[in-house]
Structures are given as structure tokens and as C-alpha cells.
Structure 1
């Protein structure tokens, strides 16, 4: 960037990153919606859905330990391009197998695992690139816009997938997702973007680099507590909803359109709050993050008590609205406090900790549902436990809530 400050939407690299994000997230959310509906309707069990979600997350978590190291060692645009290109090929394989009726649970588990493993490299690269291409005081606004664009895409993906599956075939939804993820790779093609070379990390091993990032976080009380907040959000609310929403829609005799609308409501809620956060400067980011967690869990508890698809969709909107107040303040604070040379590793560890309990949530929720425990009872129990943790953080982690 030049010495004279460049407005965010005149920053070519930032704009291309946003556009690539739109295509990638629409494609990914279509993959997620299409896969969950395919498993529920074609493979026919809550247990199968849990297995697929676990398969998509466990390899992602394993590879994420290296994703941040790779993001610090190599150009981030190269990593994102390669990831999107490989994911588009996997989606093409999914399309061909489903279209020819050659898909089965084991193949789907393998492909979902590969898809998730690749995503472990995209997340740390894209997140750690933002502080590299914008000014420090632009970080909150840049993150808010970036998350807002992601939510627009996340809204569009389920709606598009639902319409396509309702009007055509499930395989057609996979085909459109393939095209969109390929377009993301095209937009982020490295020659289109001027990115400074990655810093030289010397001859240290990936394990040594990862340990350095872990040690950096361990010495920061703020980062440690923030990670606990993100774990609580993902495990007790967001991760649970990944399994719960398609099961609830199916229990209430809903259709793919109902599933799309409910998942879109989550995205619209998140988008609304990210737009708000792009205009409102947050000073006490730890406090806002903690209060956002508490609000999200309260609304999730309300979700567990509702028995109408329409009302559930409205409640889901407010869950999404609350979630932005958890992760945007924390991500911004983490980027502000972290040295640029170690940014990729720190962000990858944050992503790893944040998502590390997702497979447990998926397996636990789907396992309980498969043995007959009411899905809304599961949500109620999880949200109550999460509320206790949120209150504990507020009362005990004074250093975090004061910053």
C-alpha cells in the first residue's frame, strides 16, 4: 500500500479478496446445505449426518496445525488459489458421483474429509492477509466488511441450493457450487494481486514454527480467554445448530426451501450486525465479545423452546445477529496485538481452538438424536451449559472484559 491512506474499496487487493470470498463462501455454503439435505433424505439418519460433519472437520483440524505455518512461509494468494482450485475439483467429483447414482456414505466421508482438510489452509491465509493489506486503524471496518460479504454469500448459498434442489436435482446444486468455487480461484489468481513476499522464517521446522505460535498465545491472557469464548460459541451454539437445523426442519416435515430459509436467516442476522459493526467503533473488545456470547446463548435457549418453523426462523435471525459481536471484536483485537511475522500461526491456532470441539459437538448431538433424545432438549442443555461458562468468564476474566 502507498503511504497515503487508500480507502478500503479503492484498495484493489482488498476488493479482489472480497470478491473471491463471495464466490468461495457461496460455493461452500451450497456444498454444506446440499450435503446435509442429501444425507438426511438419501442416506436417511441423524447418525450419518454426524459422521459426515465429523469427517469434514477432523482432517481440517489436523491440517490446521500446518495451515498457519504455510500462511507465514508462502504467499497467501498462492495458498488461497491452490485451495480453491482443489476444492472445485472435489465438488466436480461429488457432482458426477451423485448425478450417476454412484455415491455412498464411505465415498462421501472421504470427499468431505478432503474438502475440510483443504479449508484448513484457506482460513488462516485469508484472515492473516487482511492486516497485511490495510492500515491498523482500518482493521475493525475491514473485518466487518469482510465478514459482511461472507454473510451475504452465506445467505445466497443456501437459498440458491434450496431453489436448485427444489427445481432440479441435488447433483445440479453440486455442479453450480463447483463453478462458483472455481471462479473464486480465478479471481484470487496470484498474478492478479500484488502481494509482498512472505517473511523468511529461516530453517526452522514446521513443528518449531507451530510451537512458537502456541507459545506466543500462551503468554497472552487476552488471547487465551478469547479462545475460550470462541470455543464456547462454536461448541454450545453454532456447532450444535449445524446438526440441529436440518434435523428440526425434517422433524417438522419441512422442505429444502424451509432449510434454506432458516439457514439464510442465520446469515441475514449475522450480516445485519456486521454492517452495524462497520460503523460503530468498539473500544472494549473483550467486554463486547463476552456480552455477545451471553446474548447468543440466551437466544439459542429460546430457540430450544419454539415449535414453529416460522418462529424458529425468526429466532435464528437473532442468533446470527448476536454472533458477530463475539468473533469480530476478538479477531480485530487479536490482529492488532499480534506481530505480523507470526500472524498466520496465531490465527491458525485460534481457528484450531475455535473449531476443535466442533466434531465432538457434531458427534454428540447426532448421537443423542439417533438414540431418541429430542433435538430441542439437546439444544436447551447445551445452551444452559454455555451460559454458565459465559457468566464465569464475565466474573473471573477481568483482564479480558476490561479490554
Structure 2
């Protein structure tokens, strides 16, 4: 019998609760950290173009190492990977606090820290995303994904607000310290003896390249995996990446403050959180392929409207609506992929999905940073990104009639 099927119901599942609460604290810490870094770059260093480089520095190591992170998750205990990566991130945060306190936090050291964070993320996220299907019942997988994703998105509402308050009453030392403490709590929660997950069964030894080829072939040969991956690539490359990097640039151009920046990021998180709550209650099981494609079209249409907006309140509302529809693309697509994946390949498959979700963002960050440096208006850049994503999405829908019929 599948190990996951012997697990208790979701809210009585100790392993899931620990992983869930660990996700909450680490995402809250990350959101405080990233808003602080974004504001440090545009306000303290006053180098808007550097923001794209910093975000690329986070994302590029994730691109390079994400697949290996998935291979590792299929070979050793996933809780051990999460524990070690979180512990290392705490040490990085401590070093960052020392550098800022001594006036040594320069553009170079900030990029170096971002590189290390990205490297560690490449191991953490494939581990946690491939662990959930192994510790919950299959019938509760959609609900578990929605609960985990939605509540961690809620932390991206609370995080920017918390960071904005801390920056108002203190300086960056306060926000960096808060991030370090939150990530440390997450580290304790995923201490391997607490989780009790099993080490993957030992297979015949093989090279990392052979494991990688097997995982890529597995994804390519499945319509669910292939189309789901393409969908996530499109929405992250042409929507989520451009949105994330545009927020501090838009706020700075409007003469705003960290509070206005937190409203943008909080609006995006609020939309994704609300969609996740609906999916937790709904626990959708039918016609998910059709829902993914309809939501993809709607989210890019809203993003296109956002690119034309000039009023701050309207932009925040459109940000929330865009995030709302994007979550109806991401969560059902991920769950469909997990349900159709053999357990011994979950790490590699979810690393490919994680790569699709975040690994293509550096391309968006780099292109937009370059276009901003060339003095192109941010509104024009966002319009081009939204239009391109909408057209590619429609092309994918046309080319993937089978995906629309998948439950």
C-alpha cells in the first residue's frame, strides 16, 4: 500500500503540520528579507538597474542547481535537505547583519549573498514540494497543496507589511534580524527526527546526468507533465517575473515609500491567498485542464490592463486580481503533475516544475533591467510582456487540446 494512504487526515498529520508551519515561518522570513533588500537597493544604494542584477543573482544558481536538488531529493531524506539549507540561510543572514552594521554591505557583497541564497533555494524547494505527496493521502493532495501554497502566500502579505513597519521604526538591521529569527524557527520545525520521513529506497547507482535524462524524458513523454510545465513557464516568465521587478521601480517613480511597496507585494499575495482558500474549500477534481487554460487567459488579460493603469489604487487592485487568476493556473497544474508522477521520480519532476516556476525569472529580471537601463518606460515594458504572454498562452491552448479534457 502507498505510504501516503496510511497517513492520518490532513489536520491531524503531524509531519504535514510541521512542514506546513515551517513553510509559513520561512516564507515570512523570506518576504521580509526580499522587501528589505529591494528597498535597500533602490533607496539606500539608489541603483534601480542593480535590482535586476540582485534578483538574477538569486535566480541563476537556482536554475543551475535546481535539477540536481531534485535528484538529491530522490536519494536522501527530504527533511534533512530542508533542515541543512535553512540552517545555512540563517548563517548567511547573520553575516549580512554584520556587514550592514559595519557599513560593508555594498553592491558586490549583496550580489554575493543573493547568489548563496539562490543556491540554497535550489535544494530546499524541490525537497518540500516532493515531500508533500509522500506524507498526505492522494485524495487530499489538492487540498494540501492549496493549504500550503495559500497560507505561505499569506506570509507574503504579512511580510511586506511587517518589513514596512520595521523600516519605519528602525533600520535594515531590524528587518534582517527578524528574517534570521524566522528562518531559524523554520529550521527547528523541520529537524529530521521531528518529521520522521523515510529515506528513499536505494536504487542501482547511476550518474546525476543519467538521473536527469530519465527525469526529463519522463516529463517530455507525458502530455500532463509537458503542458503543465509549459503553462508554468509562460506565467512566470511573462507575468510573475515582470511584476516582481516592476513593483519597486513603479513605487520609486511615483515617489512612494516602503509602505506603498508593501501594498503592491501584499496585493499580489492577497490575490493568490484568496484563490488558494477557494481551492482548499472546493478541492477541485474535475475539468482542471480547462480551468488552467481559462485562468491563464484571464490572468494575462488582467496583467495587460495593469500595464496601462496609472492610478496606484487601481494598480494594486489589478495586481491582486492577476495573482488570484494566476493561482488557478499554478495549483491545479502542479497537483495534476504530482498525481500522475511515480513516487520515485517526484524529486526530479518537482525540481523541473520548480525550475519552471522560478528558474525562468532571471531571464525576465535581466531583460527588464536592461530595458530600464536603456530608459524605456516601465509601462511599455510591462505591456510588451503581457501581450507576449497572452499570445503564447493562446498558442499553447490551441496546440494542447488533450490537456483541456484532463480532470
TM-score by length of 1: 0.97
Match of 1:311 in 2: 314
CA contact (8 A) 2:239 2:303 kept: yes
CA contact (8 A) 2:26 2:186 kept: yes
Report the alpha carbon displacement of residue 356 of structure 1 after superposing the two structures with TM: 3.1
Match of 1:103 in 2: 105
Match of 1:183 in 2: 185
Distance 1:188 1:118, change over 3 A: same
Higher deviation after alignment, 278-287 or 184-193: 278-287
Residue in structure 1 matching 2:141, options 139, 159, 183: 139
Distance 1:107 1:4, change over 3 A: closer
**1:182-227: CA deviation from partner (whole Å, max 9, x where unpaired):** 1100011111122122121321111111111111111112211111
CA contact (8 A) 1:46 1:367 kept: no
1:361 paired with 2:373, answer no
1:324 paired with 2:339, answer no
Match of 2:114 in 1: 112
1:381 paired with 2:403, answer no
For residue 362 of structure 2, give the secondary structure of its aligned residue in structure 1: helix
Report the alpha carbon displacement of residue 228 of structure 1 after superposing the two structures with TM: 1.2
Match of 1:206 in 2: 208
Residue in structure 1 matching 2:299, options 296, 301, 305: 296
Residue in structure 2 matching 1:49, options 43, 48, 51: 51
CA contact (8 A) 2:6 2:137 kept: no
CA contact (8 A) 1:45 1:370 kept: no
Q: Which runs of 5+ in 1 are unaligned?
A: none
For residue 72 of structure 2, give the secondary structure of its aligned residue in structure 1: helix
Distance 1:3 1:151, change over 3 A: closer
CA contact (8 A) 2:7 2:13 kept: no
Residue in structure 1 matching 2:347, options 326, 335, 344: 344
1:173 paired with 2:178, answer no
Residue in structure 1 matching 2:60, options 58, 61, 73: 58
The separation in 2 between residues aligned to 1:360 and 1:4, in whole angstroms, is 42
Residue in structure 2 matching 1:227, options 219, 229, 235: 229
1:371 paired with 2:396, answer no
The separation in 2 between residues aligned to 1:197 and 1:5, in whole angstroms, is 17
Match of 1:85 in 2: 87
Higher deviation after alignment, 194-203 or 341-350: 194-203
Match of 1:250 in 2: 252
The separation in 1 between residues aligned to 2:398 and 2:281, in whole angstroms, is 29
Higher deviation after alignment, 96-105 or 246-255: 96-105
CA contact (8 A) 1:287 1:401 kept: yes
The separation in 2 between residues aligned to 1:143 and 1:376, in whole angstroms, is 34
Distance 1:90 1:4, change over 3 A: closer
Distance 1:2 1:224, change over 3 A: closer
**1:269-309: CA deviation from partner (whole Å, max 9, x where unpaired):** 10100000112224122221122211111111111111122
**1:33-60: CA deviation from partner (whole Å, max 9, x where unpaired):** 1111111112212210111011111011
The separation in 1 between residues aligned to 2:387 and 2:306, in whole angstroms, is 12
The number of equivalent residue pairs is: 403
CA contact (8 A) 1:27 1:181 kept: yes
CA contact (8 A) 1:286 1:330 kept: yes
Report the alpha carbon displacement of residue 177 of structure 1 after superposing the two structures with TM: 0.1
The separation in 1 between residues aligned to 2:359 and 2:24, in whole angstroms, is 25
CA contact (8 A) 2:4 2:138 kept: no
CA contact (8 A) 2:304 2:387 kept: yes
For residue 352 of structure 1, give the secondary structure of its aligned residue in structure 2: helix
CA contact (8 A) 2:4 2:135 kept: no
CA contact (8 A) 2:150 2:277 kept: yes
The separation in 1 between residues aligned to 2:68 and 2:280, in whole angstroms, is 31
The separation in 1 between residues aligned to 2:18 and 2:189, in whole angstroms, is 7
Distance 1:5 1:174, change over 3 A: closer
CA contact (8 A) 2:73 2:348 kept: yes
The separation in 2 between residues aligned to 1:5 and 1:112, in whole angstroms, is 38
CA contact (8 A) 2:75 2:200 kept: yes
Match of 1:400 in 2: 403
1:8 paired with 2:10, answer yes
